[in-house]
Amino acid sequence: MGLIKVVKELWRAFFFLCSPQFWRMALLWTFSILYSYYQLFKPLIHEKCSLFSHKLVSYPRCSPFTTTFKPVCVITGATSGLGLAAAYQLSKEGYFVVLVGRSQQLLSETITKIKDWNEDAHLEAFQVDLSSIESVVKFKMSLQQWLLDSDLHCSIQILINNAGILATSPRVTAEGYDQMIGTNYIGAFALTKLLLPLLESSPVSSKIVNVSSFTHRAVTDVQVDEGTVSGKRFFRSIQYPCAHIYEYSKLCLILFSYELHRQLCLMGKSHQIFVTNPGSVPQLPSSPKFPNTPFVAPLRKATSFKGSISTPAFN
């Protein structure tokens, strides 16, 4: 039985490597990140500055901690990659960090990790499935109750929508949505709308950070009908178009960010909305594991580098 399972996995991997979706990711996503690099360094090119002599600007930081007010930051997808790094850094800045993830075990391990790095970290974890609207609603109610029970100000100061998956096979949520769109966009949309009252209650200007991807540049057919936004249109495909859906979900998140910013500005709200492209982040949940071949390894190294440099954020 073990040999049969190995053969099936090898055949599945070979079939994916020969699929149009793999080559779309290998080619279009490479062009997309190269264009993102160009956009990022265009000012330097115009100023005839060398890439290697460029020094990133470092802004002074001040801890938000006071004896009377401790700010709260909610981070989704906080158990690995960018989410874990953000949780650790914000805990050092004095924030009470709320970790949101699908696995209770990984959440517990993440708390242990951050506590090992920063023993003064203030952390709380909630198990939430962002692809489930019911789970998101329950989290909002649990968060409100936790704020009241903890004697913290009943507000949050930062919401980081970082959770995302890249699945190679179709999965459907309880509400009938494609799980990748449900997690990457619909869940973030629902969570943001539900937590807006807590963000508006903040005594200081609150911030919403939506983590997108350079892959949105590869979208060629933009449709906003219900079938596309829910992912149901993609169910009709012979092969699951994982690359198309991932790109589209990230584009939807960007468009939502811009529209939310526009609406809040019209209402005279002081919230700041950011959408950022961190590049490729290791340990992306549910991402396909590619072999470390001479062809793939340089691409992985190049795309990971972009996550370590300053990237544009739009507010």
| Token output for 309 | 């440099």
| Token output for 183 | 């997690």
Q: Right CATH number for 62-314 from 1.10.10.60, 3.40.50.720, 3.30.2000.10, 3.90.25.10? A: 3.40.50.720
Element (H, E) at 304: helix 296-306
Contact 185, 255 (CB under 8 A): no
Residue type, 220: T
Contact 123, 184 (CB under 8 A): no
**DSSP-derived secondary structure for 211-262:** E--GGGGG------SHHHHTTGGGGGSSS--HHHHHHHHHHHHHHHHHHHHH
Q: Looking at the predicted structure, is the pLDDT value of residue 5 above 60?
A: yes
Largest CA distance in the chain: 64
pLDDT at 270: 76
User: 3-class SS at 82?
Assistant: helix
* Domain parsing of the chain, residue ranges: 62-314
The residue among 72, 186, 211, 212 whose CA lies nearest residue 129 is 186
| Token output for 69 | 């007010």
The residue among 296, 294, 288 whose CA lies nearest residue 12 is 288
Q: What does the pLDDT look like over 195-252, one tens digit per residue?
A: 999 999 999 889 999 998 888 777 777 677 777 777 777 777 677 888 888 888 898 8
pLDDT at 61: 58
The residue among 264, 265, 303, 268 whose CA lies nearest residue 284 is 303
Residue type, 110: T
**CB proximity list for 37: less than 8 A, separation 6 or greater:** 306
Q: What does the pLDDT look like over 54-75, one tens digit per residue?
A: 555 555 555 555 556 789 999 9
The residue among 83, 43, 82 whose CA lies nearest residue 306 is 82
286: left (phi over 0), alpha (psi -120 to 50) or beta: left
Element (H, E) at 17: helix 2-17
| Least trusted range by pLDDT, from 186-190, 233-237, 294-298, 307-311 | 307-311
The residue among 199, 214, 203, 181 whose CA lies nearest residue 38 is 214
Looking at mean pLDDT, say which of 124-128, 151-155, 171-175 comes out highest: 124-128
Element (H, E) at 105: helix 104-117
Neighbours of 198 (CB within 10 A): 21
| Least trusted range by pLDDT, from 33-47, 184-198, 199-213 | 33-47
C-alpha span between 49 and 234 (Å, rounded): 45
